[in-house]
Amino acid sequence: MPLLVMKFGGTSVADLARIENAATKVQAEVERGYDVIVIVSAMSGKTNELVGWVEGTSKLYDAREYDAVVASGENITAGLMALRLQEMGVPARSWQGWQVPINTTSAHGSARFVSIPRENIDAKFAEGFKVAVVAGFQGVSSEGRITTLGRGGSDTTAVAFAAAFGAERCDIYTDVDGVYTTDPRIVRKARKMDKIAFEEMLELASLGAKVLQTRSVELAMRYKVRLRVLSSFEETDENSGTLVCDEEEIMESKVVSGVAFSRDEAKITLFTIEDRPGVAQAIFGPLADAGVNVDMIVQNISEKNYGGHPGAVTDMTFSVPVNQVPRAQKAMEDAKAAGLIAYDDLVVDTEVAKVSVVGIGMRSQVGVAARMFKALAAENVNIKVIATSEIKISVLIDRKYMELAVQALHDAFDLDKA
């Protein structure tokens, strides 16, 4: 039997009526002759509520118990979806992660797949079941504990199942009808793309476009999964939505194809650090050990460019997710107290956001950065930090200008025009 993976996100299973709507889409594919693996998220808002309960109970919580609580939202929707399908006459049953089993690492809160053996689900298909409804976002560690994959992780569950079961396609049903040039909730003129290259989607996702979890795009790219994003609230067919695919499949290629943003950034500056070999290691080593995800880094040119000589000093600025500021600050203070680093002052700015333009066309085009900076200057937006790669340029700016900057960049690169 040909097989499809269909994933429904939180808003698509937010209540019983929406679960029924999603089940109708599954039934249609079964009637077309497919076996279907359905991956469900928790009802929208549920995971946030569960996280809040954990944090309200224990500040420095045990991550294993966090996962035990937070994974439960998906158990409810998996069972309800299976029941709804049964009511429609579709042979279906639900699967929690441990029942499959979805084997993961023990990195609680951000676990990764180790293996997804097919035997149990295949046996049920062989018995005549048409649909396996699998709880997204969760797995089981080799210690037998429940794990979760990080926020937005059901996308990654879906792609992993598509790869493991050789699915014809992995359809991600959500509350927008595809991948847009930027978040359509911020820029009304944002344009839906019919296709987007894996590399571009990977950058957009990792730079903040939460329509797909970054890891899901990585897996799809590695295992050549045909990945599609489409709306669960509209009539859809084989041509709906946005296909995430190889670069070669895309005809029209623009210099910049999308704008991404991330609100929850913070900037930390260490003033007057020594300028000598080993200083960067002395700063970023302890940050890594503390589990801080450092993103952008800038080191000032040393005073009069005479870095490296005894007594030379400089400043170091880096960005981290805003919720990791306390951990980062403590790591720096501990390193200073232990004599590993010396600095005069540590200054934190928690009111920053990152805005990025992404496009594979940038590889062969000069002047993209200049065009970006010109558009920001025209809006009087000050740039605090800049980072570039082959296919993206990111800037850190004051958070209060984020939407303005996204809008300005969308206009500057004519992204509303096909």
CA distance 116 to 139: 10
Closer to ligand ADP at the Cβ: 9 or 97? 9
Nearest Cα to Cα of residue 116 among 130, 95, 131: 95
Q: Which of 14, 25, 63, 73 binds ligand ASP (CB under 6 A)?
A: 73
176 binds ligand ADP per the rule CB under 6 A:
yes
Distance of CA 2 to the CA centre of its chain: 29
DSSP H helices in 214-367: 214-223, 279-289, 325-337
Binding site for Mg ion (CB under 5 A): 9, 152
CA distance 372 to 368: 6
47 binds ligand ASP per the rule CB under 6 A:
yes
Phi, psi of 101 (to 5 degrees): -90, 150
Read off the tokens for 137. Answer: 């976002």
185 binds ligand ADP per the rule CB under 6 A:
yes
Give me the least distance between CB of 180 and ligand ADP, in Å please.
4
- Among ligand ADP, Mg ion, ligand ASP, none, the one that 185 touches (CB under a kind-dependent 5 to 8 A) is ligand ADP
Tokens 């969760």 found at: 138
Largest Cα separation within the chain, whole Å, is 79
Give me the least distance between CB of 73 and ligand ASP, in Å please.
6
Q: How far is CA 312 from CA 256, 306, 307, 344, 347, in A?
A: 41, 7, 6, 14, 21
- Among ligand ADP, ligand ASP, Mg ion, none, the one that 137 touches (CB under a kind-dependent 5 to 8 A) is ligand ASP
Query: Strands (DSSP E) along 275-377, which ranges?
Result: 297-299, 313-321, 345-358
DSSP H helices in 166-255: 198-206, 214-223
208 binds ligand ASP per the rule CB under 6 A:
no
Q: Which of 154, 181, 182, 262 binds ligand ASP (CB under 6 A)?
A: 154
Give the x/- contact pattern for ligand ADP in 220-259, rule: CB under 6 A: --------------------------------------x-
Task: Give residue number: closest CB to ligand ADP.
Answer: 9
Q: Which of 180, 198, 343, 413 binds ligand ADP (CB under 6 A)?
A: 180
- Among ligand ADP, ligand ASP, Mg ion, none, the one that 151 touches (CB under a kind-dependent 5 to 8 A) is ligand ASP
Read off the tokens for 247. Answer: 């670069």
Helix (H) or strand (E) holding 114: strand 113-115
Residues 78-137 within binding reach of ligand ASP (CB under 6 A): 136-137
286 binds ligand ASP per the rule CB under 6 A:
no
Q: How far is CA 34 from CA 38, 128, 139, in A?
A: 12, 12, 25
Instruction: By CB under 6 A, name the binding residues for ligand ASP.
Output: 9-10, 41-42, 47, 73, 136-137, 151-155
Q: Binding residues for ligand ADP, per CB under 6 A?
A: 9-12, 41, 152, 174-176, 179-180, 182-185, 204, 209-211, 258
